[in-house]
Amino acid sequence: MKFYQEITLIDQAEISPYFIWSKLFTQLHIALAEIKDVNEKVNIGVSFPQYIFEEKTESQKAKVNLGKKLRLFAESENDLKQLDFQKWLDRLTDYVHITSIREVPKTVSGYAIYKRKQVKTNAQRLARHRVKRGDIGFDEALARYSNVVTTTDLPYIQMLSLSTSDEQDKNRFKLFIEKQSAEKSETQVFSTYGLSSVSSVPEF
């Protein structure tokens, strides 16, 4: 990845950074969905330069923070120009600052993979989806899913599901983000959240 743009959340007295992250990432998801290929993939990845995650121990709570910076990475300057993310941030100009497109520094401190960690947090929601298939009742479905509910302390962004037309199903969900150290990757394929379980982005 040779080019990047950096978005910084501007401190607000009245508004939580979590709220701004939610608005910012919703716009990013919509923008990336506009340029996705037939496999629902894009060639723009993201990183969170101030990401912190230290699991809880007996003596201390988990340290969890996404920070206040987001970077968008692309192999070519033209990819970021075509995305034109500044345009998607029109309504958020009081809350975020975006840089011009810049070259990634020649020397980087390493590479990382930022991927989505899917956590089955709501047995009732899973059971409702299963009942729609019509082969089992709600109580049986709930019994099946009650033992697969798991939790995580990973940092997350609160999102609103945009992929369904059913107003009742427009649930909020937590987009949990896991970071892993990695080698430089040859493939540069990301989801419409800019995340990937295989493609890495530079750290600096």
Note the pLDDT tens digit of each residue in 5-55: 999 999 988 899 999 999 999 999 999 999 999 998 999 999 999 999 998
149-167 per-position pLDDT tens digit? 567 889 999 997 765 555 5
pLDDT value at 170 more than 60: no
| pLDDT in the model for residue 186 | 86
Residue 167's domain spans which residues?
3-203
Distances (CA, A) of 150 to 130, 138, 154, 181: 18, 20, 12, 24
Tell me what the pLDDT averaged over the chain comes to: 89
Q: Three-state SS for 42?
A: strand
User: Which H or E run contains 29?
Assistant: helix 17-34
Q: C-alpha angle with apex 127: 123 to 128, nearest 5 degrees? A: 120
How many structural domains does the chain have?
Answer: 1
The CATH code of the domain that includes 16 is 3.30.70.2540
